[in-house]
Amino acid sequence: MGSAQRIRTSTFFAALSALLVLGAAATQGRAPWPLRTPAPVPDGRPAVLARASEVKCGECHARHLEEWASTTHALAWENEPYQEDLEGRKKAESCHGCHAPERLHGADDALLAGKPAARKDERHFGVSCESCHMAHDGALLGPTGAPTDKHATRKGASFVGAGSNALCAACHRTTVGPVIGLARDFEESKAAESGATCVSCHMATVAEVGEGEARREVRSHALQSPRDPAFLALGFEYELSAESSAVKLAIHNLAGHRVPGLIGRELEFRARALAADGKELATETLTLTTETYLPVDESAVLELPAATAKVQLEGWHHDPRLEKPVRFVERELAR
Ligand code: HEC
Ligand code: HEC
Ligand code: HEC
Ligand code: HEC
Ligand code: HEC
């Protein structure tokens, strides 16, 4: 089983638990952060789906096609880690429902209950435009149902505000293979309470259209993903505080769920404690894996010597899909 080989970190847990003090993060009521328009990222963004030009929707929705084509949604079937993981599995068919799904909506345009069903053909299109958008009768469901003579359209609850969380959760709620069902965390998170959605954090706004009540944000299908160090950096906040016996560095989780959520990924924080004269007093490391993960809305605390005046902090992302570790944070924090 490929996924088992990618776990190489369970031994970290014992060493780590001594350092981990969990507490509520200061995320109450926080508005979702402003997202940038996704730029091409050299660090491990998936390649473009080679056969994307065969997707007919792209004739008219060129922007959507281009954005989608270089996501893991487009590559969910072709993706090497997926195909490798299937090798030798007796029930590989049970995996395909989320990696090459049939239409996700049934009668009344409601999301079908249960695990998504696998598509019989064109599996190479992965999580396709049709999977998410096509209704049982061939109409296309979207956030406004804008009328056109090109095809039937309807407004669908899965594309508006909090209704869209259920669409994402259809596949992201289950823990299976190397995957943690992050949507469960999200449902109980402060982010959900404050009105953030999966879409508001993972699909950046590219334009605003309409006026008054009809005003809405048009969003990019290029998923904001932790492979992008700038996005990953938004997931954490740091706080240095002094107590009589120690200086504490709190690392708050601002993502809408635990981090990380995929077996094999690791986030490593390295803190170098310096005295007022610049002398190094100590170094501490915190490694987050799917076993030693940082729960939603919580914080990890590193204890540093009482004489610590400032801390040099680095955050490194180890992802089996990246050629080498990527630094996503480099900061100096002073007391
Ligand atoms: C309920 C939906 C669902 C099912 C069923 C499912 N997966 Fe996945 N799979 C996902 C999601 C969602 C992700 C992405 C998670 C992430 O990026 O954090 C994923 C990602 C993966 C990846 C990681 C790909 C990469 O880029 O590294 C592998 C490998 C994988 N799945 C294998 C499997 C195998 C094997 C099965 C069958 C035992 C399976 N999946 C069944 C939803 C599913
Ligand atoms: C994982 C599900 C998913 C997939 C796959 C997907 N979409 Fe979307 N799409 C959405 C969601 C969610 C929205 C609403 C986003 C928002 O809040 O504006 C949306 C919005 C849209 C809109 C209307 C909003 C706008 O930008 O004007 C169009 C058109 C669209 N998608 C086309 C496509 C096409 C074409 C593809 C394939 C290339 C595709 N989508 C793939 C989920 C998906
Ligand atoms: C011949 C051109 C054409 C093709 C092909 C086409 N569309 Fe459209 N589609 C349009 C036009 C025009 C609109 C009206 C609004 C707009 O411009 O986005 C529209 C609207 C939509 C909407 C509604 C957006 C909303 O506001 O709610 C969705 C969703 C959508 N299309 C998805 C798709 C998908 C998925 C495919 C492929 C299966 C597809 N379209 C194929 C031209 C096309
Ligand atoms: C039909 C199932 C399905 C639905 C619906 C779905 N996803 Fe995914 N998603 C996947 C799979 C499968 C993967 C991973 C594919 C792989 O790596 O092979 C994935 C990967 C991702 C990733 C990781 C991207 C990366 O590059 O690491 C993010 C983020 C994500 N999805 C967000 C969303 C959001 C937001 C929604 C709702 C708008 C959504 N997904 C809806 C199946 C789905
Ligand atoms: C408040 C913002 C926020 C919300 C809300 C949010 N996410 Fe995330 N998500 C993040 C950040 C930041 C990361 C990167 C952290 C990491 O995984 O290291 C991330 C990572 C991910 C990943 C990659 C995980 C991995 O380990 O490969 C997936 C998949 C994902 N989110 C899906 C979702 C889904 C589905 C929802 C809604 C149920 C959601 N997210 C809600 C901010 C958010």
Ligand 4 centroid to 242 CA: how many Å? 41
Instruction: Please give the pLDDT value at position 274.
Output: 98
Residue 292 and residue 12 in contact, taking contact as beta carbons nearer than 8 Å? yes
Average of per-residue pLDDT values in the chain: 87
Domain shared by 111 and 237, yes or no: no
Domain that holds residue 260: 229-334
CA distances from residue 13 to 8, 130, 208, 230, 320 in whole angstroms, order as listed: 11, 42, 45, 27, 19
Q: Specify the pLDDT at position 38.
A: 43
How confident is the model at residue 214, as a pLDDT? 83
User: Long-range contacts: 322-327, Cβ < 8 Å, 24+?
Assistant: 322/43, 322/44, 322/227, 323/44, 325/268, 326/43, 326/44, 326/229, 327/229
Give the Å distance between the CA of 149 and the centre of ligand 5: 37
pLDDT bucket at 190, cuts 50 / 70 / 90 = very high
The 10s digit of each residue's pLDDT in 4-25 is 332 222 333 333 333 333 333 3
Query: Judging by DSSP bridges, how do beta strands 298-305 and 246-253 pair with one another?
Result: antiparallel
Residues 117 and 248 in one domain: no
Cβ of 164 less than 6 Å from ligand 4: yes
Of 133, 164, 188, which residue constitutes the final position of a domain? 188
Q: Are residues 50 and 183 in the same domain?
A: yes
Same domain as 63, residue 158:
yes
Q: Summarize pLDDT for 311-326 with one digit per residue, the tens.
A: 999 999 999 888 789 9
| Residues 152 and 79 reside in one and the same domain | yes
6 falls within a domain: no
Residue 242 belongs to a domain with what CATH number? 2.60.40
Distance from Cα 221 to the centre of ligand 2, integer Å: 6
Supply the pLDDT for residue 21. Answer: 35
Query: Does 105 sit in the ligand 4 pocket, CB within 6 Å?
Result: no
β-pair partners for 81: none
For residues 54 and 145, state if they share a domain: yes
The answer to whether residue 33 is domain-embedded is: no
pLDDT, greater one: 239 or 32 = 239
Q: Do 150 and 262 lie in a common domain? A: no
Q: What is the pLDDT of residue 5?
A: 30
| 30 lies in some domain | no
What ligand has the least distance to the C-alpha of 207?
Answer: 2
pTM (whole model) above 0.85: yes
Q: How far, in Å, CA of 220 to CA of 48, rounded?
A: 16
